[in-house]
Amino acid sequence: MHIRNLQHNGLQIGDFATRPGQAWCIFGSNRSGIDHLVDLLSGRLENFSADILLLPNHPGLLSFRVQQEIFEEELRNDDTDVLGKIDPGTLVCEFIPDHALHPTLLKTFGMDHCLEVGYRQLSSGQCRKLILLRELTGGAKTLVLQNPYDGLDEQSCFELNQALRHLPDQGIELILTVNAVSDIPAWCTHLAVITSGHLSHAGTREQVFSMLFDKLETEQRGHRTPTDISVSRTAAAAGRKEELVFLQDGFAAYGSKTLFSGLDLIIYTGDHTLITGPNGCGKSTLLDIITGESSKCYTNNLRIFGKKRGSGESIWDIKKHMGIISPVLHRDHRVPGSALHVIISGLYDSVGLYRKIQAPDIKAGLRWLSWTGLQDRADTPFRRLPFAEQQLLLIARALIKRPKLLVFDEATQGLDDAHRYALLDLLEKIADQRLSTILFVSHRKDEQRPFFNRHIQLDSYAP
């Protein structure tokens, strides 16, 4: 690959070249221009010029956009209504070439037990592993991986690194992009940095990392927090102890596979709860049961805000007291709407806005838009924004109404360190001021902050 004098309104590259046997990691924050580089390598970038542009031919691509496109294609082909039963869609085994269905390889990626599971039934982390496995076995000579560790548990990250580190020796070119310093792999041979729309540094990993590590850590920890977050009288009153979630002998299964069983969970006001566990253990399913997104909420002994599920309450009675962020919610935001409108929709618990909004709603929306740092994107259609910016808007959407319960499933996927730290600092402030109770799923150890006073390791409830 060779790029010289690339000019684009969001990315400029003077002279950048890779050589056979090299494994490149490219680091950049959310608005550095790194997403434009991924678009360039995947053939999606428009309106640019370059003196020299030699790019990989048909690279294998793992990105949030590819993941979303596969999901939407699966939805379009969903024949559940025609079949009269749930259509699982494309099965895991159908994504992978027959010659690659090797037990050892499948086990390495933790996909050996779900070959007959449909794509839409996989967790977000499992979807990413499946796409990577498909690209690895599809014959591509170059792999472009955008934030490949996002959504993966610690063991999966270790196994992924074991699989990737040997690929350059097999003649496969590797280009990883990451936006967290801790995600820069030790095995990459070369490192480049994109800053403020420019490829500012490139060289061996040791040279660039030692030169920039302290600077990167300092820059990434510099962050913003929302203004005027204070405890209102209503929020202070809500600080009284109240049962928010009651689950007795909780269980969940998909087909013949039991995800977890025997789970007793009681969450009162102020019980800020961290949920961890490997990909596919049922973390997202548990949150879907609590939020009412899964029909399993009716087969479990479950009370939400003191009301037993199935006793006549509507889903809207439940959700008006919740702020939710999840991969499913992100995938479902396919309706037209601007960045500002997506945030304001959190006041109405709707995907999209279907009513006339009032001046106080706009004021609140603009304040939270300011926290995301996306004031200049207020009128930009949500679907035209990069994944990380969409994620920030959905987080603001969950926070805008200061709900009793915040349910965050992998909320920091796609966010750089600065935004992750800003979100966690804000949640710490929310916990300290008793604005909401937090239920938080994460794979990252550096997100296990002291304000989480409860920790559930979900795989300990596996049968």
Pair of tokens at residue 65: 């956009």
Least Cα distance to 134 among 43, 61, 75, 57 occurs for 61
Strand partners, 152: none
- CA gap 277, 290 in Å, rounded: 17
Note the pLDDT of residue 396: 92
The pLDDT value recorded for residue 219 is 53
Beta strands in 57-213 (DSSP E): 60-62, 142-146, 173-178, 190-195, 198-204
Look up residue 32 and give its two tokens: 């550095």
DSSP state of 74: H
> Considering only CA atoms, which of 162, 161, 155, 198 is closest in space to residue 176?
161
Q: How far is CA 268 from the centre of its chain?
A: 27
- Which pLDDT score, from 0 to 100, does residue 223 have? 43
Residue whose C-alpha is closest to residue 432's, from 452, 455, 408, 448: 452
How far is it, in rounded angstroms, from Cα 142 to Cα 175? 8
The predicted structure's pLDDT at residue 233: 34
Give buried/exposed letters for 133-154 (b at 16+ CB in 10 A, else e).
Answer: bbbbbeebebbbbbbbbbbbbe
Q: What is the DSSP letter of 111?
A: -
Three-class secondary structure assignment of 394-436: HHHHHHCCCCCEEEEECCCCCCCHHHHHHHHHHHHHHHHCCCC
| Closest C-alpha to 368, from 403, 392, 336, 338 | 392
∠ CA 83-88-93, nearest 5°, is: 130
The number of beta carbons lying within 10 Å of the beta carbon of residue 392 is 28
Sheet holding 322-325, edge to edge: 322-325, 405-409, 437-441, 273-276, 454-457
**Whole-Å CA distances, 232 to 411, 434, 452:** 26, 10, 23
- Return the exposure string of 324-348: e unless at least 16 CB atoms fall within 10 Å of the residue's CB, then b: bbbbbbbbebeeebbbbbbbbbbbb
- Helix 359-372 × helix 387-399 angle, to 10°: 130
pLDDT of residue 193: 94
Opening angle at CA 261, ends 259 and 267, nearest 5: 105
Query: What's the residue count for the chain?
Result: 463
For residue 259, CA distances in Å to 255, 276, 293, 325, 459 come to 10, 14, 17, 22, 8
Q: What is the pLDDT of residue 218?
A: 56
So what's the pLDDT on residue 97?
80
Per-residue pLDDT for the chain (463 aa), expressed as one digit of tens each? 999 999 999 999 999 999 988 999 999 998 899 999 999 999 999 999 999 999 998 899 999 889 888 988 988 888 888 878 888 889 999 988 877 777 777 877 778 888 888 988 888 788 888 998 888 888 888 999 999 998 888 888 988 898 888 888 888 899 999 999 889 999 999 999 999 999 999 999 998 988 776 665 555 554 444 344 443 434 444 456 899 999 999 999 877 788 999 999 999 999 999 999 998 889 999 999 999 888 888 899 999 998 888 777 777 778 889 999 988 888 878 778 899 999 999 998 888 787 788 899 999 999 999 988 899 999 999 988 988 899 999 999 999 988 999 999 989 988 898 888 888 988 998 899 888 999 999 999 889 999 999 999 998 888 7
CA nearest neighbour of 286 among 263, 267, 306: 263
Name the DSSP letter for residue 381.
B
Q: Residues 6 or more apart from 414 whose CB is under 8 A from it?
A: 30, 64, 147, 150, 179, 387, 388, 391
Token couple for 379 = 């009128």
Half-sphere exposure of 87 (CA within 13 A, CB side): 13
Which domains are delineated in the chain?
Answer: 2-221 (3.40.50.300), 240-461 (3.40.50.300)
**Whose CA is closest to 122, among 165, 164, 74?**
74
